[in-house]
Amino acid sequence: MAGLADFRELPGVLPVFAVAGALLLPGGRLPLTVFEPRYLALTDDCLGTGRLFALVQPGPEDGSVPVPGLQPVGCLARIVAFGETGDGRYLITGLGINRFRLVGEEPGRSGYRRVVADYAPFAGDREGEGRIDIDRRRLIAAVSAYLSHQGLTADMARLDDSNDTELVTALAMAAPLSPEEKQALLEAPSTTERAQLMTAMFEMALLTESGDFVRH
């Protein structure tokens, strides 16, 4: 992406969409419906200044995180699609660019928060991870079995032509998981570890819900 070739060139202060249960990973696309006044203002400001914002889940309000009320890791996004509805809402799509750690907070604007971002721990998001080693069959089987158990369906065939990173990103973002599990997937160091974690989550959920697990 022009102007964003190096993580050191990414903006140090980011306006924040705080959305519980929403996971955005680098390379993923997340549609958002914007209706709160503070986030309408944030979108307006973003459209005039590079279209960049941060997606961060709400977090603990105590001193256990660098910025109270927000999780310690979020994802930088760029608005790549924008539309308006007839009732004052915006429909936007955010493209995941790079994860970051929250290391501070700047004064907010128009009701929305702004945080200080450190991208260095996730330099691999832009520079590439190297070799990715996932068990595609096991991952897809675990997700499919869980969805079937919940009475849900998904068109897994459309992912057949995706590479490993695209597959893991798509499944992680769409999976019906808790906010805590979504955060764990976001913070996973690599695609390989994210795939392993997600597989374990769904296999354990199946065992737990079916009652087929060892009690101690």
pLDDT digits (tens, 9 = 90+) for 89-125: 999 999 999 999 999 999 999 999 999 999 999 988 9
Instruction: Residue 56: name the closest of 10, 117, 122 by CA.
Output: 117
Q: For tokens 């955005």, what's the residue?
A: 24
Predicted local distance difference test score (pLDDT) of residue 192? 94
Phi, psi of 61 (to 5 degrees): -90, 0
Phi, psi of 140 (to 5 degrees): -65, -40
Strands 52-56 and 13-18, sheet pairing: parallel
pLDDT digits (tens, 9 = 90+) for 118-147: 999 998 898 777 788 899 999 999 998 888
The shares of helix, strand and coil residues in the chain, as percent rounded to the nearest 5, are 35, 25, 35
Categorize the per-residue pLDDT at 1 as very low, low, confident or very high, splitting at 50, 70 and 90.
Answer: very low
pLDDT digits (tens, 9 = 90+) for 13-60: 999 999 999 999 999 999 999 999 999 999 999 998 899 999 999 999
Q: Which range is least confidently modeled, 43-57, 67-81, 135-149, 182-196?
A: 135-149
Q: For tokens 């992912």, what's the residue?
A: 159
Per CATH, which fold does 7-127 belong to?
2.30.130
Q: What are the residues facing 83 on neighbouring strands?
A: 91
